[in-house]
Amino acid sequence: MAILQDILYKVAIRAVAGNTAVEVRDLQIDSRRVSAGSVFIAIKGATTDGHQFVDTAIEKGAVAVIIESMPAQTREGITYIHVQNSASAAGFMAHSFYGSPSERVKLVGVTGTNGKTTIATLLYKLFTQLGYTCGLLSTVQNHIGSEVVAATHTTPDAISLNAMLKQMADAGCTHVFMETSSHALHQDRVAGLKYAGGLFSNITHDHLDYHKTFEEYIRVKKSFFDNLPSGAFAISNADDKRGAVMLQ
């Protein structure tokens, strides 16, 4: 549980209609999972726009909605938060809602076209062998210490991701190794996370069905390193033609 205004302070807000002191039970980006006390975050996806389901979410008990455009009419008793970017807002809100879990562990992101799973898994196993309690977020499977948790995406949605990081921190994990895909970066699924460092493996012409151009693909990958905290480390594969670009 949280108070809405307490999880909004890092979100780029354009307008507010309603009470921000309401109690929040959970955050949802899927209207089908909304229940009494939820905040529904309407995100524009590649094929579906969450704004189409705002009324459905309210009818199912949402106390607040996060939207990128304010409706002509608002409902009494519902809080409307007009934001610049709903996907980014979901990341920052989820991070605050779950107690800033990435700040409780050393979170290391691994990005690149190939090798993400291998590198993240090897680091997880290496640090585990060194005696650390570690977490792993990968395409194949996730680990909370020695517990194996099924994986659904290379990088989960922002809410699931922060919930998982909280479980890892609560379980005593000190290090978490995480695949960070270009799709997740572009869709702001990792917004709000504090990384201790990042690694770049390589980049090839895969995934251009999504990114459209190779230059855009490179830009998205590079944005991960551009947004690392000043004290974070960055390791890049110098054998890749774009390895040096990532650190510029």
Q: What is the CATH number of the domain that holds 218?
A: 3.40.1190.10
Which tokens in the block code for residue 136? Answer: 């792993």
The reply to whether 27 and 148 lie within a common domain is no
Is the pLDDT reported for residue 150 higher than 90? no
Q: Which pLDDT score, from 0 to 100, does residue 210 have?
A: 63
The reply to whether 137 and 202 lie within a common domain is yes
Give the whole-angstrom CA distance, residue 247 versus residue 236: 7
Is the pLDDT reported for residue 82 higher than 90? yes
Q: Which pLDDT score, from 0 to 100, does residue 146 have?
A: 93
Q: Which of 64, 98, 132 is the last residue of a domain?
A: 98
Question: What average pLDDT does the segment 41-46 reach?
Answer: 90
The reply to whether 50 and 138 lie within a common domain is no
Block residue for tokens 């978490």: 176
Give the whole-angstrom CA distance, residue 19 versus residue 3: 10
Q: Which of 72, 98, 124 is the last residue of a domain?
A: 98
Q: Which pLDDT score, from 0 to 100, does residue 218 have?
A: 83
Gyration radius (Cα) of the chain, Å: 19
Is the pLDDT reported for residue 211 higher than 60? no
Question: What's this model's pTM, rounded to 2 decimal places?
Answer: 0.92
Domain count for the chain, please give it. 2
The reply to whether 25 and 90 lie within a common domain is yes
Q: What's the DSSP call for residue 196?
A: S
- The 3 state secondary structure assigned to 157-173 is CHHHHHHHHHHHHHCCC
Give the rounded distance of the alpha carbon of 70 from its chain centre.
Answer: 24
The reply to whether 78 and 108 lie within a common domain is no
The reply to whether 138 and 216 lie within a common domain is yes
Beta strands in the chain (DSSP E): 2-3, 13-17, 23-24, 26-28, 38-41, 64-67, 79-83, 106-111, 134-137, 141-144, 147-150, 175-179, 197-200, 233-236
CB 128 within 8 A of CB 136: no
Percent with pLDDT over 70 in the chain: 96
The reply to whether 119 and 209 lie within a common domain is yes
The reply to whether 202 and 159 lie within a common domain is yes
Is the pLDDT reported for residue 207 higher than 60? no
| Amino acid found at 72 | A
Task: State residue 143 phi and psi, 5-degree precision.
Answer: -130, 135
Q: Provide the mean pLDDT of the chain.
A: 92
The reply to whether 237 and 123 lie within a common domain is yes
Higher confidence at residue 214 or residue 211?
214
Q: Which pLDDT score, from 0 to 100, does residue 92 have?
A: 98
The reply to whether 89 and 116 lie within a common domain is no
Range name among 132-146, 149-163, 182-196 with the lowest pLDDT average: 149-163
The reply to whether 223 and 118 lie within a common domain is yes
Residue-number span of the structural domain to which 61 is assigned: 2-98
How does residue 19 score in pLDDT terms, banded at 50, 70 and 90? very high
Q: Which of 71, 98, 125 is the last residue of a domain?
A: 98
Which tokens in the block code for residue 224? Answer: 């991960």
Query: What CATH code is carried by the domain that includes residue 83?
Result: 3.40.1390.10
The reply to whether 119 and 80 lie within a common domain is no
Q: Which pLDDT score, from 0 to 100, does residue 215 have?
A: 80
Q: Which pLDDT score, from 0 to 100, does residue 202 have?
A: 85
Give the model confidence (pLDDT) of 64-78 as tens digits.
999 999 999 999 999
Is the pLDDT reported for residue 206 higher than 80? no
Question: What average pLDDT does the segment 79-91 reach?
Answer: 97
Q: Which pLDDT score, from 0 to 100, does residue 213 have?
A: 80
Q: Which pLDDT score, from 0 to 100, does residue 208 have?
A: 59
125-129, long-range: CB within 8 Å, 24+ apart, which pairs? 127/175, 127/177
Give the whole-angstrom CA distance, residue 40 versus residue 53: 9
